[in-house]
Structure 1
Amino acid sequence: MATLPSLKTPTSKSSDENHPRLLYIEGDVALAHLFKQRMEREGFIVDLAFDGSEGMALLEQRPYDLVVLDAMLPGLSGLQILRQLAANKLHPPAIMVSAEENAALVIDAMHLGVADFVMKSEDAGHIQLLSTVIRHVLSQYRRFTEQEAIVEDLYGQNRKLALLNRATQIFTSTLDEEQIALQLVKSICEFTDAEGSSVWLLTQGQSGEELLECVAIFANGEYIEPRHVPLAPGEGIAGWAFAHRETVIVNDVLRDQRFSAASDDKLKFQTRTLLAAPMRAPERVLGVLELVNKRKGGFTEIDQTLSETLAASAAIAIENARYFQHLNRQAEELRLRNEELDAFAHTVAHDLKTPLSVIAGYADMLRENFEFLHPEEADLYLKQIVDNSMRMNHIIDSLLLLAGVRGTTNVEVEPVDMGMIVQEALSRIEFMSTARGAVIELPDQWPVALGYGPWLEEVWYNYVVNALKYGGDPPVLRLGYDFPEPAKVRFWVADNGPGVPEDPSFLFKPMLRMQTSERRKGYGLGLSIVKRIIEKLNGEVGAESLPEGGSRFYFILPAVV
């Protein structure tokens, strides 16, 4: 017997195992009908063709479990038919019959993949032998295809395990959330032979509501920029899977009321089948992995298991990446706070030392020379002691305010009357502005912004004091506002001083101060307090030199629209 050809299982089933369908291509009509009668009594289904061309036409029209063909046929010969069959990997096994004992013919037929070769007999006795050979070839072919299917399945399982191992290694080797999502959508398409997949992660909307945002899409072998509208938990099939913490398989989306075609319309895509698996981290569900359009058939339980496994691995990797990023942010914040503490320690130690030295000096002179001092001179010494005590008190108040701002995690913002706040701040520096001969210009009205009144009074107070100290001589101050963006308002204090450096950000650090006369030396906490307050109110601070001269210090807050 010849060796069976290396064949694949036909894509469409020709018959059931109890009634195999045979094609007999035979030029002898009487012999062909004799074969048909014999084989149909044994349970076979038999089609007949009486020349090679007719036989090839039947083979193209429907699948067969086995072909029996004569070597010598009208039209196409048996070898010519075998050659055409060999070009098609899905052809059925074939048995050749011949009335000639021709070794070359047998060898040629074997090279073309014939399953067996039977010699004709004059009394048609070979038909009985054909019955036995056909059963043997079909049995052998079934075992062969079953073994090949097992090998193919093992190969597929090994490939999936290798891909799963590779994907897991990638998940654990990166702390980039985007890279994890991109690897997930690509890998799951390779595992399940799906046309596309997407990852939806839980996020918060502008009003604080929970939403599922699409962060990665892979379709037809390439990444696609996500352009989906966010889903609410429970919305669409992906939202349903997230809300119910269950994997969903839908192999006909048009019959499922949860399906929405909105994403298809945006991506010019047509979803037929869909699988949505929750992405489970140890303590919560982070989002949903969605697969669309399995290329062959519908999604299966095996696809579900693979999707859930990979989705869980990716969820843990994303959770680890977020935790690492959180630790990095905390470490960076701790580093900045330590720098601030060093700066505060340096500044406070330096600036408390100055008034303390003055107080100690004048107190010592009073103690040593009190009985010899003129009353006016004694009053001058006492005034210096009181003034420097007040200066120390103000430094301590500033430190307490800064500590309060730093210790507050959440502050309730509300619309504030900025005009009243500015007036309160100006009343606190009335004596200083009068002593400096300052001119302060104000707008007729102020816009309403979102903030916290007591803190904003300190911001205005520090900005105005800074302008009085470092502005022109005499200081000319303009307080005002503008709208850099539709939903934001910028408040500012402009002076007629020398301006600010090209990079003014260092001015808001407590350890540094403008180099100026001793008479107007500040204690380095005011602008750092401003920065801390405005950042707590979700705003921005800054400073700039003006084209006409002088500087402008500003802060930006959300406007009330």
Structure 2
Amino acid sequence: MTAPNRPESVDKSKIAELERKVSILSRLAETSAVLNSTMRLKPLLGSIMDTAAEIVDAEAASVLLWDYKKQELVFAATTTSDSYGQTLIGKQVPLEGSIAGTVMRENRIVMVDKVRDTIGHYSKIDEQISFQTRSVLGVPMRSRNRIIGVLEGVNKRQGAWTDDDGYYLSVLAAQAAVAIEGAQLVTQLQLANEELNQLDKLKSNFIAIASHELRTPLGVILGYASFLQDTVDPQVREHASKMVNSAMQLRRIIEDLTNLRYMEQSQLELNMEDVPLVDMLRELVGELQSLAEAKRHELSMTPPPFELRVRVDRIRMGMAIGNVLNNAIRFTPDGGRISVQVEQKPREVWIMVSDTGIGLAKDQLERIFERFYQIEDHMTRINGGLGIGLSIARAMVEAHGGRLWASSAGINQGSTFIIAIPTAPAKA
């Protein structure tokens, strides 16, 4: 009768092989955690290279990525050594006549134990960096059902490549492909964001310079046109009034652009003071009266029978209300009516600007406050504008802790814009 095998008789080589497999799987798990912990491409590639060389017992490893714009397979990373490292990055490898190209084209694992015996090796790379490639294991890197590149192990330290080597490297390649694509997307977004920031700075600088350069000549034009309004000749007065109205429109656009720049840069500061509301409204209506008369509008204000004071930045709030009034004048067909009413509400004062203009569809009631939004209408083409007046008005009102919204019965039914301003706290 044969005695059972003792533990000492178990094949030590099998134990060593199992230990190596456990070690490799642990290394892959660790690398997976690392790949999921960063979105920076350079550290990702470094971790992939180190793991690839270790798990297949290779002297070196490399990642080649497919450049979709140039339609080229290019070295993106390698393990570093005296002769095989950074000099390789950026070098192109042809799809035909290279091991990596075969992996890429045929979407399969390629094992070459003796490079000198194969005609598929691209030897020019070795010549360029003074390196001797003896053996190569290449696996495709797949992400979202497409191949993004090739992961290679180079120069097996002992023996030939095995199926296990191909399996382990493929597992790593699958993890690496997803991580690399994610990092590339983040990099692209960062570059795009930087470009947008640069464009935004250029835009802000342009607005600042243009606003500054336009203010002086505009002031001269307004002064001269206002002087001509006092002339005896009625025809000259009419032309002068048109000049004043046009210049006032341009001045309002310049002010809107300037305030838009300040709001984008969070530089808008409010100088709060107690302001008699009715006096401020009368002043605004008076300033826009000539613009309304030019379109034969009836612009009126119904003051409340009591005094109202609000704590606001007089200039900023005046600009907000002025933008709403100006919008009503522009988008009401000639011969219309624009009225301003004031109502006292609990903890708020409502300023209601109503017009007999083009009206608003239900889906436009909020969109009109979006920056640069313009209603597709012949009135827009006639009156022009940048589509930022109401956006700026709402931002200024909200900066005061107030609200601005619109209501309308529909297209061609006129509109009402309500500005709600918190009332000034009672003085002790």
TM-score using structure 1 length: 0.38
Ranked by relative contact order (alpha carbons within 8 Å, sequence separation 6 or more), the top structure is: 2
Q: When the two structures are superposed, what TM-score results if normalisation uses the length of structure 2? A: 0.49
Structure of larger gyration radius: 1
